[in-house]
Amino acid sequence: MQSEPSILRDFTVDSRVWLLSSVSIGIGILATILALLLLRCIAVSTNIFYYHRLSLSSVSPAESPLGHWMVVVPVIGGLIVGLMARFGSDKIRGHGIPEAIEAILIHRAKVDPKIAILKPVSAAIAIGSGGPFGAEGPIIMTGGAVGSLIGQWMHVTDAERTTLLVAGAAAGMSATFDTPMAAILLAVELLLFEWRPRSLVPVAIASATAALLRVYWLGAGPLFQMPLIADAANVSFVLGSLFLGAFLGLVSAGVSRMMYAFEDLFEHLHLHWMWWPAIGGVGIGVGGYFFPRGLGVGYDNIAELLRGSAPIGLIVGILVAKSLMWAFSLGSGTSGGVLAPLLMIGGAVGAIAGHLAHVPAEMQAFWALIGMGSMLAGSLGVPLTAILFSLEITHCLPALLPLAVACIASYLVTALLMPRSILTEKLSRRGYHLTREYGVDPLELVLVREVMSSITAGASLAAISRTFVYADSTTRGAAEIMATEGLETIPVVDRTTGQACGELSLKDLLRGRGRSLDRESERLRLFGYVPPELGGHN
């Protein structure tokens, strides 16, 4: 006789996902507007600081006529950011993404309303005054702040508020780089800490909304044009990508440690942290005086690397001056992102490899792309995001296979060498710990009937308790009921007969948890293996 099917489902999702998805459309629109405003504010700030004019045109600080006075400009910008952090909110300091993670994990996805204003303004000042940072971190934090504020206004759970925060963050990234799929993957790999329809669907809708609006407001992608590349999936390119990716893993670890070494240096200063960004501005100003193209976001540098036309002077300048300027100033606690600088540094390493191999321009661009993706995968610990992000900003689909190999190689190296990524290290220094590994809860794989203890057969449900679990339920569901009700044991009921058939205790749950430990630790040669219950020997 065939048993009735279980009522257990693959996914825990309910009709509230429609509400969150509808709200996410509005969040996507707002995040796109904020991304546009931030980019415009950076342009205005750059024009004011370096050209002493009001203009919305995108300009590079490297072409400023200020001469020696360019050394002073980043110091002024750093002083303003320090004052904003001191008397506004210290949450505007740093990359932006670690702050979003902290809000999700520690503060119930609650973000101070001031952040939605102070973060983009401080980032615009920091970058506009020459800060060698990316705009993506501040935009992610700003978009996340908007999603959080909407979630705080609504009657939602912490998990739902987290979804709205991440929806805003993903929309901000999608609007900035025209990378809707990479933004969704970044949300999964770095922010959501889960892969569930209840959160993935609203985040995807917000990201898609932002990408759609970006076409009308900022233009269609790709963000960076590359030469046509053919036959990039041959053995030599894939093997070269493997070794370059592994080397970029070492570079990623080194860059991360260098940045936090500078942060430790600032921590030892007998000076209030309000003044640190100004000191960081000194490093920017001096570095910018000798290497002007190291100032600002530097999207023009990335574009040149991906065209394969970057001269050796620009490449060396990025590797030496730009990386030092970025690490020193970000270590000072100013406001800025890490994505664009990491792209630049990784692209420069790839371009150096192309120069050493004496390949033509289009292949130098190819190796620069491999370097960029590998740098993101290793330093941020997001290999899938890095692969898709690199493809979306260039539309260079022939590079998919070697790019995937390189990013995975870099990710493996940094996972072995570094206990934390460049983003999560900051959380660890604040006394928090998080794991980046995703997996099905072991108790989800064990049914109650497999670990329950026996009781008197046929005992009635009413004689035992009003709170019970069914024998075909998962032990995870039972554990949640026990935690909610404060129970150490709970009756188990047969769904078909309605009779009590056992009980589940905390000790039983631990036995269920132990099964996953056996899978992780017990090593067996299964060829020819006969289980003990069938007459075999241990």
Query: In the beta sheet, which residues pair with residue 492?
Result: 469, 502
Predicted confidence (pLDDT) per residue in 363-381, tens digit: 999 999 999 999 999 999 9
Q: Measure the CA–CA gap between 33 and 290, rounded to whole angstroms.
A: 36
In order of 93, 268, 390, 422, 433, the CA distances from 428 in angstroms are 16, 18, 28, 11, 6
- Cβ atoms of 492 and 468 within 8 Å: the answer is yes
Domains of the chain, start order: 16-217 (1.10.3080.10), 235-429 (1.10.3080.10), 443-534 (3.90.1280.20)
Q: What is the pLDDT of residue 385?
A: 95
Query: Please, are residues 366 and 232 in contact by the beta-carbon 8 Å criterion?
Result: yes
Pairing of strands 469-470, 489-493: parallel
Q: Which two tokens stand for residue 491?
A: 């009756």
Residue (of 13, 12, 10) closest to 21 by Cα position: 13
| Phi then psi dihedrals of residue 447, to 5 deg | -85, 155
Task: Write out the two tokens for 56.
Answer: 């919305």
Q: Pseudo-torsion of CA 178, 180, 186, 188, nearest 10°?
A: 170
DSSP state of 335: B
180-234 pLDDT, tens digit per residue, is 999 999 998 888 888 889 999 999 999 999 999 999 888 887 889 998 887 777 8
Q: What DSSP line would sit under 41-54, residue for residue?
A: HHHHHHHHHHH-S-
Angle between helices 400-417 and 361-380 (to 10 degrees): 40
Q: Are 99 and 305 in contact (CB under 8 A)?
A: no
**pLDDT per 10-residue tile (average), the chain, 538 residues:** 59 89 96 91 94 91 90 95 92 79 81 85 92 85 90 91 93 92 92 89 96 88 84 86 97 93 92 94 94 92 93 95 94 87 95 90 92 96 95 93 96 93 81 77 87 68 67 90 89 87 90 78 70 61
CA distance 489 to 487: 6
Q: Is the pTM of this model over 0.75?
A: yes
Q: What is the dihedral of CA 36, 42, 44, 46, to 10 degrees?
A: -160
Question: Burial code of 119-149, b = ≥16 C-beta within 10 A, e = fewer?
Answer: bbbbbbbbbbbbbbbbbbbbbbbbbbbbbbb
Rounded CA gap, 221 and 389, in Å?
12
Q: Where does 186-294 show beta strands of DSSP type E?
A: none
